[in-house]
Every structure is written in structure tokens, then in C-alpha cells.
Amino acid sequence: MTRPAWDWRLSDLASVPQNGLTVFSCFACGGGSTMGYKLAGYTVLGNVEIDPQMMRIYQQNHSPRFTFLMPIQEFKLLPDSELPPELFNLDILDGSPPCSVFSTAGAREDKWGAEFAFREGQAVQRLDDLFFDFLDVAEKLQPKVIVAENVKGMIVGKARGFVSLILSRFREIGYRVQLFLLNSATMGVPQKRERLFFIAARNDQPFPALKLEFNEQPVLYGEIRSGEGKKINPDSATYERWQKKRPSDLNMGDVTEREEGKTSNFNTILLKDQKVANTLASSSVFLRVDVPQHISERDAIRIQTFPADYDFLDTDVQYVCGMSVPPLMMQRIAEQIHLQWFK
């Protein structure tokens, strides 16, 4: 019996036909994008990552040839002589610049242009600059294609000004760029995760306009549900609210607003078997609606389409998954780039 696409193993990569194309990944985190490219037949040469913990996990699971544990700001300043020549002949430069300052949750504008000790790499930095640092790397390496992923919030409200600046920078360094807002639920991922993708071709590449249209059958939570989750503490306020939920409630915020007149807990999702899971964020909470339990770690792995044999070492499973691009989402994109541009 053939396993569904979301139920896969790192060991499956050994049987994937190779397409001869190379990728280098910036802000690699746990390697969600890396696994997507590998599933599509690409060779991922290595990565840049600021977080030592994430780097250990990346090396454990992906065995990169070239790996750089440093901020992107330092990597872009390395002399060409200190970089492997393969990086100057890349097919794709991939990157997911940390994006929490563009999230639509909270007073995000308060963080723009200021330095904060963000969780990404436990470093004090300006996250709204990192996309431009990434493009400086692209200018240095001159890959044929650039793929950058970010949150939908970049095209909402005042953040659109940042997007205009980013598009201008793409053009300045010699690339023509397209924007795609994609929902992973249409791409075989058991999760409603909307993400913005900047996909750019170097001006000397004779590629037509890329078309990305996905309409796969949604994968419901009940199809991937597995194992026992951590029980909700029966003495907690969460348990009391969980008991007061109604069939129409989508999250604990609905309960809190109705029962207590407070606007809070909207990030605690009530997950139903007949629904597609919401975005798995590193800080979100998913509760099963039919039993007083959190989802299981195996659920989180499947929702994010990480492989069943991924070694998380001593790191929180949901944090690694929530910070990463779903491998299956990137696989679908990488396949189309290969078919429409390189094949």
C-alpha cells in the first residue's frame, strides 16, 4: 500500500531521482525547505544558520557539505576566496528571512526599525533588515534563481511599503521577480498555512513567467491524527474553558469572549477531525476538541509534513516544525521551477 505524501521518511530520499540542480539555503532552521528541494530531486549543498541549536539539528538530519554557523550579516561579508566555488554557480539560492516583525499578530509596527532579542538565534537584531541582507548574498553569489519565503503579513497594511523596497532591490541586483501567495492546504499539506513566496530569475535566464496553481484535495486532521496528546490539566482555567466550548467554537478565544467578556486565547485552536488544521506556529496551542488533550508530537510532525524519522535531538518538536517551511509545500514549488524553467 502506498503511503500518503505527508507520511514519509528521510530514508525515502535515497530513491528520489536527481535532477542535477543545486541549492544553497539561508536561514535554514530545521531544514523544511531543504527537505522539500531534496524531495523534488535537487542537491542542497549547504546552509547558513545563526542558531547553534538549529544548526546541530540541521547537520544531524541533512549532512550538509558546506555549512556556516553565523549571522547572515557576517556571511555576506566573507571574502569570495573563503567560499566554495560551487556557491558561485548555484541554480537556486533559497531563504526564509525571520519574519515575526511582519506577523499580523500584535502591534507589529512597534518592532519595525528597532532591535529586539528575538527567538531566532537568540540574538539581538533588526529582523526587518534581514531580507535585504539575504539579497546582498544573492548579489554576491548571482544564482540563476532566488526563492524567498515569508509571511502573508508582508502584503497587509503598512508592511506593503517594505515589499516595494524589496522588489526594487531585486531589480537593482539584476533579477525579475514574481510574488505568489500560496496556501499549503492546496498543496497536499494537512494545514492551512498561507505564505508569500518571492521567486526571481536572473535577467540573463530565458525563463517564461512562472505559473503556480495548486488544487490538491485537502487533508483533514482526522486523516493524520495519531497517538495520545498531553492531557489538559483538570485544575487549570484552560480545562474549565474547554468544558464550556460549543460545536461552533473555533478556538478558546471564542469561549473566553463569550463566557468572560475577554479577548484572549485566540491562539489556542480547537482542532476538529473534519477540519484542516490551522497554521502550526512555534507558539500556537492545538487542543483536540473531542478529548481534553493537546495534539500529539506525531500530529505536529505530520501537520508540518516533516519526516517520521526526523531527529529533533533535545529540541521542542513544535518549535522546530513551526519555524520551518513545510517540506511538501516547498517540494511542490521546486518541482514546478524545475519543470517550467530548467527542464
> 99 an active-site residue?
yes
Long-range contacts of 209-217 (CB under 8 A, 24+ apart): 209/178, 210/178, 210/336, 210/337, 210/340, 210/341, 211/336, 211/340, 212/180, 212/182, 212/333, 212/336, 214/182, 214/186, 214/187, 214/332, 215/186, 216/186, 216/187, 216/188
Taking only the tens of pLDDT, the chain with its 343 residues reads: 689 999 999 999 999 999 999 999 999 999 999 999 999 999 999 999 999 999 999 999 999 999 999 999 999 999 999 999 999 999 999 999 986 555 444 444 454 444 444 454 555 555 568 999 999 999 999 999 999 999 888 888 776 778 899 999 999 999 999 999 999 999 999 999 999 999 999 999 999 999 999 999 999 999 999 999 999 999 999 999 999 999 999 999 999 999 999 899 999 999 999 999 999 998 889 999 999 999 999 999 999 999 999 999 999 999 999 999 999 999 999 999 999 999 8
Q: How far apart are CA 114 and CA 129, in angstroms?
A: 10
Q: How far apart are CA 269 and CA 251, in angstroms?
A: 4
Q: How far apart are CA 244 and CA 265, in angstroms?
A: 14
| This prediction's pTM | 0.92
Strand partners, 183: 194
Answer for the pair 304, 322: CB distance below 8 angstroms, yes or no: yes
Q: Which domains does the chain have, with CATH numbers?
A: 10-216+320-342 (3.40.50.150), 221-317 (no CATH)
**pLDDT recorded at residue 162:** 81
